[in-house]
């Protein structure tokens, strides 16, 4: 059944078909080794100087672009690099010329094992926040931490999740393994949206003639839409490179396992451009520029019909249904109508000829975040108060709670595939039954799904990180649920900016401790230790968030056995009473029992 296509080292295979789905031509391919091919060199076109009496014409469009460059964020789209550059001559600039000098390596870094404390990550180098907001809040309000899933990842405050401990191992314990699940870096928007959206707002402006802005909105008169779609921004690339460096500095010593067994680690990502770019930038940070013979990069197809635990929605139709799994829009709209009323009243008089809607004002807040992570700064950020940014942050909590986490009826099912893989890795036992989004072709092959390794790195999406939190029954994050759409709960436990920002990273840390023969596990999310007392059998109020691995494994086995993926993803069920019905455990209404079976 396997189609093997040779060429550039790719192997195409038949993908595992989801239970209950009609067979189709489905293939998942892997790239065993990714070797970055560096551009050999560029030769600049020679321009004659004025002393040579040469005349160089200046194009009018370049004059306009240069004039626009004086405005913040005025860069234009110009599709770099060119499709067929004429000044590239690889043979003139070989990448290996010899004469490397001394190259002996040193000891592997091991910050997590040797340092007295854990380095923090502030989150937003190279990005500028609005000066007006700094003046208003006396510099105490960090806007970058209040963009929900659009925030750049940062080290959460100690005790943010309820455990007053740092990520460094407690006294008497040492780290023996790491399972890392991380999100891609900052990206452009993902296209049109059912509610608001940067591209929607741009289309609104283009669709109305004769409008004119003044005051704070005056910049709109010559503003242009500058955002691409879905791929990483330069800042997003840096985020993943930095994450790779950070993980090597903390866990480099775990590579000793691979040296001793003469094997290479297998890192996984998906075929989407931003996913592959994130994985490669992580690898560059972790291994350096020479990736050959350092690791193996597994690339799984992210498309409808292909089983993929790192993109489970592709085989879960109910999860993509706005009346079932993705049901957040009414909640977000209701909240927007409340917290943005003052902003609408303030901004409407500043633009004539266009009747602003709440949806437009919400799009402006989105544009602030997206423009900042794309071009470094955005004038839209200056339009809103601290309270309005807190409202925006909560709107994204609502979005992800009801679309991807404890308030979504399909969240547990979509996260259970990765949990099954985690269970297999922790027990060194292959998956026995493929009854979710797991891929039987890949997960049953020791080459593509090795067991017994000390380091695993998987790249995924924000939604999947939240799916996994839900599937693991980490109900401390559900303490405020169901989330209300008329106010912000005080000291809420569920914050998308803490759980799923750009480049979010979730560490499953394995430890050996002197005081017990049982290996221990704990979960660290964006440097915050997550309590595991909601996982059946794990100690309550454990000061370091530890749980014996055998206990954790048995609890996860029970969760897997009780999760009905086929019913959640393929079943014919409805959310009772529209969006008024709520779940706080990420499960759909109970499966109906046919009277014929009674």
Question: How many CB atoms are located within 10 Å of the residue 516 CB?
Answer: 12
User: In this structure, are residues 523 and 530 in contact, taking their beta carbons and an 8 Å threshold?
Assistant: yes
Candidates 140, 151, 150, 144; CA nearest to 128 is 144
Calpha distance 593→575 (Å, rounded):
17
The DSSP string of 249-305 is HHHGGGGHHHHHHT---EEEEESSHHHHHHHHHHHHHHH-S--TTT-EEEEE--STT
Q: How far apart are CA 151 and CA 145, in angstroms?
A: 6
- E strand or H helix that includes residue 101: none
Is residue 184 annotated as part of the catalytic site, yes or no?
yes
* Structure tokens belonging to residue 226: 């500058």
CA distance 210 to 582: 45
φ/ψ bin of 329: left (φ > 0), alpha (ψ from -120 to 50), beta (otherwise) = alpha
Q: Give rounded-to-5 percent helix, strand, coil for the chain.
A: 40, 10, 50
Helix (H, G, I), strand (E, B) or coil at 111: helix
Q: What is the CB-side half-sphere exposure of residue 505 using CA atoms within 13 A?
A: 28
**Given 184, 434, 461, 544, which residue is catalytic?**
184
* Cβ(545)–Cβ(210) below 8 Å: no
Cis, bond preceding 81 (omega within 30 deg of 0): yes
Nearby residues of 428 by Cβ (< 8 Å), 6 or more positions away: 451, 452
Which residues carry out catalysis? 184
């Amino acid at each position: 059944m396997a189609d093997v296509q040779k060429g550039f080292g790719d192997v195409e295979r038949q993908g595992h078909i989801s239970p209950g789905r009609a067979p189709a031509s489905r293939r998942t391919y892997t790239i065993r080794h990714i070797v970055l091919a560096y551009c050999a060199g560029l030769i600049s076109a020679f321009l004659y100087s004025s002393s040579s009496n040469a005349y160089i014409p200046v194009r009018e469009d370049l004059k306009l672009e240069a004039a626009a460059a004086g405005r913040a964020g005025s860069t234009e789209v110009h599709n770099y690099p060119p499709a067929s550059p004429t000044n590239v001559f690889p043979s003139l600039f070989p990448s290996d010329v010899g004469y490397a000098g001394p190259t002996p390596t040193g000891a592997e870094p091991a910050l997590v094992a040797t340092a007295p404390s854990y380095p923090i990550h502030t989150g937003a180098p190279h990005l500028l926040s609005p000066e007006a907001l700094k003046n208003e809040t006396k510099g105490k309000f960090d806007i970058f931490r209040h963009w929900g899933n659009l925030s750049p990842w940062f080290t959460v405050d100690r005790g943010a999740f309820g455990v007053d401990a740092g990520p460094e191992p407690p006294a008497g314990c040492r780290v023996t393994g790491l399972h890392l699940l991380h999100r891609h870096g900052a990206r452009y928007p993902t296209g049109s949206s059912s509610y608001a959206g940067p591209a929607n707002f741009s289309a609104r402006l283009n669709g109305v003639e004769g409008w004119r802005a003044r005051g704070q909105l005056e910049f709109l008169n010559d503003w242009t839409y500058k955002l691409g779609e879905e791929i990483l921004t330069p800042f997003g690339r840096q985020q993943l490179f930095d994450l790779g460096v950070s993980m090597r500095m903390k866990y480099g010593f775990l590579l000793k396992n691979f040296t001793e067994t003469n094997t290479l680690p297998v890192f996984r990502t998906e075929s989407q451009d931003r996913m592959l770019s994130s994985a490669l930038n992580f690898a560059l940070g972790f291994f350096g520029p020479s990736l050959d013979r350092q690791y193996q990069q597994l690339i799984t197809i992210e498309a409808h019909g292909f089983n993929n635990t790192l993109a489970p929605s592709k085989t879960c139709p109910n999860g993509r249904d706005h009346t079932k799994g993705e049901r957040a829009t009414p909640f977000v709209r209701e909240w927007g109508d409340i917290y943005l009323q003052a902003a609408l009243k303030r901004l409407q008089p500043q633009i004539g000829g266009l009747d602003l809607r709440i949806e437009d004002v919400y799009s402006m807040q989105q544009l602030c975040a997206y423009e900042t992570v794309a071009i470094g700064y955005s004038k839209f950020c200056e339009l809103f108060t601290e309270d309005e940014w807190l409202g925006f942050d909560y709107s994204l909590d609502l979005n992800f709670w009801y679309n991807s986490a404890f308030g979504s009826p399909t969240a547990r099912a979509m996260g259970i595939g990765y949990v099954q893989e985690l269970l297999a890795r922790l027990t060194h036992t292959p998956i026995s039954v493929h009854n979710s989004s797991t891929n039987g072709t890949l997960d049953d092959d020791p080459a593509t799904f090795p067991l017994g390794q000390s380091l695993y790195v998987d790249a995924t999406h924000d939604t999947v990180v939240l799916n996994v939190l839900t599937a693991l029954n980490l109900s401390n994050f559900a303490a405020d649920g169901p989330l209300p759409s008329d106010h912000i709960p005080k000291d809420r436990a569920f914050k998308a900016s803490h759980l799923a920002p750009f480049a979010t990273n979730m560490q499953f840390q394995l430890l050996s401790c002197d005081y017990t023969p049982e290996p221990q596990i704990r979960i660290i999310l964006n440097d915050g230790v997550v309590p595991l007392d909601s996982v059946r059998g794990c100690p309550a109020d454990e000061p370091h968030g530890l749980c014996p691995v055998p206990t954790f494994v048995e609890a996860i086995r029970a969760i897997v056995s009780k999760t009905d993926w086929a019913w959640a993803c393929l079943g014919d069920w409805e959310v009772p009473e529209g969006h008024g019905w709520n779940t706080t455990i990420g499960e759909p209404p109970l499966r109906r029992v046919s009277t014929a079976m009674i």
